[in-house]
Chains A and B, each alone.
Chain A
Amino acid sequence: MGLTRARQGQPEYHGGAVRYLLVEDNRELAEAVVKRLGLDGHAVDHAATLAEAEDCLAAASYDLILLDVMLPDGDGREFLARGRDRFATPVIVLTARSQVSDRVGALDQGADDYITKPFDFSELEARCRAVLRRRGGSARNEIALGNALFDPTAGTLSHGGTSVELRNREIRLLEVFARHPGQILSKSHLMDRLFSYEADVTENAIEVYVGRLRKKLDGMGVRIETVRGMGYRLGGP
């Protein structure tokens, strides 16, 4: 079974981590994607062909399939159309074309979403969250933070009987903190995660989002501490 199994960096928290099956014939890109997703604590299996993908699906269960459309042993969309009734795993199609009709075509075949190469990993994660949310996110995606439960898929922070809605950037920021508790995260690192490497973002923007998160985390037994000159850290009460 010629599949490369890569588990880069064990996640500190299992919650929020996603188990991916990446079906992509370009080994360079596959290797980079596996490594990049691994940095966020996700587990990724890689299949280079549709046949390998079938083997993987028979051997293990996945949260999400990332499917390239142009594969050496067939069209990914046909694989989708063929296999939709055999596996229930959500599929995000990786395409080189940006046309809406392509997307509609892929969605008609049973894909849950699509993303155009090259993609921003934050956007990929956001789309995965949206897909998993639509599919009814599982409980194991919840992350315990102090007295509260953070569900990145639903974008909620619940404490006692109350639940707070978080916006997209707040979710992504809290997710970064939650995955690296106790670790100091620099402003520039957080900026990259939040603003997709935009040119004209100032560090003030991060301060605004950290300020908002702090307000929402108030009284939940967890807080974001400022480490002077270095960045922020998620700590206890």
Chain B
Amino acid sequence: MSGTGSIGRRLTLLLAGVAALLSVLSWGMVTSFALQAAERTQDNILAASATIIAETLRTEQGEVRLELPYAAFSMLGAVSEDAVYYRVMAGDAMLTGYEDLTGGRQPDLPGQVVFDTIEYRGASLRMASITRLVLAGTQPQPVTVSVAQTRNGIGTIAGDLSRTAAIMSVAFFVLAVALSAFAARTSLRPLTDFAQAVSRRGPSDLRPLRREAPAELAPLMTSLNRLMDRLGQSIRRSEDFIAEAAHRVRTPLATVRAQAEIVLHSTESEDEKHRLRKMIRAVDESSRSAGQLLDHATVAYRAENLARDQVDLADLAATVADALRPTASMKDIEIELTTESALVLGDPVLLENALRNVLDNAVKYSADETTIALRVASDGIESVITVCDQGPGLGDGPVDHLTERFRRGGNVEGIVGSGLGLTIASDVLTAHSGRLDLHSQEEGPGACVSLVLPSA
């Protein structure tokens, strides 16, 4: 996956990012709620404790009396080990408690409980204060009860809750990432299936795709089918064009050749006969050239979209030998076939084309009443078709150049040919990661051409 990267990975990352954000947010919220809840609990107990103390206030002989109830403090102790401080003030006079426990909000109205957080002896305290009017003598006197407690306990509780929340958030995040990956893969499966269905196809398979596709893929499938349809049409058009071109060129050539033969039969003039023979040879030459040019065009086109069918070279050799035997027999040339099964992967049309050109060359350059040996062999790594003739051999020129376009050997005077045959064969083999080997016969005259292909 290159360019814009993988959709699956992007989708997973996006979903995981959202999950991470939600995890952090939920952790923060749980922590803050826990702290608030703990604080509210402490406030309530402090308020309750202050209220109980305030309830025990009474007047004795015009004096405000107080008996500190034990329950008021045991309640606080039940919650945590935190230190508890208190102070009871009647007006400006201190009744009992810690003298230096000062500051903090004081209630404005009797019966009202107010809370505040203060600094005391280097620790942070939460303090609840309540004021009650007590009748001392004739005057109602305001008495304020303050109860304070350090806040270590709720810090611990909030910390515990926060840690638990963090662990749960992490677990949630991990689960969310796994689910994201799963969701991304599941929702992308139709796309993956679609891509595989397209890539599994051979280069020449241009049938429209017929499969259930999700709505999002339908436009892609439609345009792909339309593209394949257009491609198919254009291929058919160019194949039709090649067929039509061949037809248009060769039919009049056939007429010319037939007419020339008729005249050759009826004329007595040796000079005319000589000219007519030249004419027939020229017709044969242009027919051959036209054929090879069309072959060359076919090879150039098909090699770009190379099919990978399994081809047995033994069958291929037998087919091509059968096709050329009647032509060879016109010169009383035997084609001797020795084959063993040799499987390769490739385009059967191109491979046939290559072998036909090589064998056709051999028939063309061989002397009358000779034998052409056509052998197919395979060692499991390479499969080889070898065509050996008893013709004039490869000549003294450089052998490599014989496969170049329109290049002919230096010893082919008087033989019809355009020099494209070996080029076509060589191009076909190169497209199949194979090669064309040219060498002289080890014993006696003649040349061998080997078509070497990697075995399937």
Contacts and interface: CB of A to CB of B under 8 A. Distances in A.
Interface of A: 26, 28-29, 32-33, 35-36, 39, 70, 96-101, 103-104, 113, 116-123, 126-127, 130, 167-169, 188-189, 192, 196-200
B257 A118 contact: yes
Interface in B344-389: 348-349, 352-353, 356, 368-369
B285 to A, nearest CB: 11
A101 B348 contact: yes
Interface in B93-131: none
A168 B295 contact: no
Given A36-B261, A168-B329, A118 B250 contact: yes
B249 A96 contact: yes
Contacts of B413: 200
Nearest to B243: A97
The 6 nearest A-B residue pairs measured at CB: A32-B258, A118-B254, A100-B352, A96-B247, A96-B246, A117-B254
B287 interface: yes
Contacts of A120: 257, 284, 330
- Which among B270, B277, B348 has the highest number of chain A CB atoms within 10 Å? B277
A127 B413 CA distance: 28
A116 B349 contact: no
Nearest to B268: A186
A34 B319 CA distance: 31
B251 A168 contact: no
B264 A192 contact: yes
* Interface footprint category on B: 35 or more
A35 to B, nearest CB: 6
A96 B250 contact: yes
A167 to B, nearest CB: 5
Interface of B: 242-244, 246-247, 249-259, 261-262, 264-265, 270, 273, 277, 280-281, 283-284, 287, 291, 294-295, 298, 319-320, 323, 326-327, 329-332, 348-349, 352-353, 356, 368-369, 413-414
A127 B332 CA distance: 14
Given A36-B262, A126-B329, A117 B353 contact: no
A100 B250 contact: no
Nearest to A97: B246
10 contacts: A96-B249, A99-B349, A116-B250, A118-B253, A119-B254, A120-B284, A127-B326, A167-B369, A169-B331, A200-B413
A33 B258 contact: yes
Given A192-B264, A197-B280, A121 B323 contact: no
Contacts of B331: 169
A208 B261 CA distance: 24
A196 to B, nearest CB: 7
B287 A118 contact: yes
Contacts of A200: 413-414
A199 B326 contact: no
B256 A123 contact: no
B255 A28 contact: yes
Given A39-B265, A197-B277, A96 B330 contact: no
A98 B295 contact: yes
Nearest to A199: B414
B284 A118 contact: yes
- Which among B250, B259, B265, B348 has the highest number of chain A CB atoms within 10 Å? B250
Contacts of A197: 277, 280-281, 284
A106 to B, nearest CB: 11
Nearest to B280: A197
B412 to A, nearest CB: 11
